[in-house]
Amino acid sequence: MLKKIKNFIKKKGTTPIVCLTAYSKNISKILDNYCDAILVGDSLANVLYGMTNTHKISLEMMINHACSVKQGVKKSLLIVDMPKGTYTNNKNAKKNANKIINITKCDAVKIESNNKNFSIIEYLVKSGLPVMGHIGYTPQYKKTFTVAGKSYEEEKKLIKEAKKIEKAGAFSIVLECVSKQVSKKITQSINIPTIGIGSSVECDGQILVTDDILGLSNFNPKFVKKYINLSKLIEKSVQKYKKEVKNKLFPKKINSY
């Protein structure tokens, strides 16, 4: 676990870090060949369960998906999001982080910052539980979407927040929807990797939701690039299947026992 994290940190400033999300073994097995890190994100609340936000995804749901993802991971650093409400104080944060790591065998957990939980991160790290931070737009704490770092005051606050997370012992920080200028300053001012989502090429690495880049979701923000439209390909396949079933062209002899 620690060796993987040390190697991950060493990539800062040397080679761009590739990260994506996964919620199942089928996807993680593919991603493992290309990603430096795979995140079991609480975005599964929106992507798989159709929830309006990430606030009600449970610890058990995260653990179940992480166990599936772990089966496909051999090389990548595996990180699991801690759901909202599972790290409100040192005691329950440690209990829940331990539970996630012990059951799923992941390498680390990720915690969103509310500009207050630095002590929780420090407590977890000192307890031997690796933590990735998350600043900027933090869906667990912010009700409406805004780009972070547009004003000078926000810039100072974000840089200070990142430095505090680093000091607390986090091995990396996700910068979500942080302005390009501020992302660059944060990346240059800390010694741990920054992973951007909607935060420009100035970060040490990038992460996106896999379903978004494959065209499986209807989420179309500016920062998402769709590399293929799997929804259309799936639709065509299902249409063909329906036609063959209706016309008794499937199953053929080769498909039957």
Q: Looking at the annotation, which residues are catalytic?
A: 176
DSSP string, the chain: -HHHHHHHHHTTTTSPEEEEE-SSHHHHHHHTTT-SEEEE-TTHHHHTT--SSSTT--HHHHHHHHHHHHTT-SSSEEEEEPPTTS-SSHHHHHHHHHHHHHHH--SEEE----SSTHHHHHHHHHTT--EEEEEES-TTT-SS---B--SHHHHHHHHHHHHHHHHHT-SEEEEESB-HHHHHHHHHH-SS-EEEESS-TTSSEEEE-HHHHTT-S----TT---S--HHHHHHHHHHHHHHHHHTT-SS-GGG--
Per the CB < 8 A criterion, the answer to whether 194 and 183 are in contact is: yes
Peptide bond into 130 cis (omega under 30): no
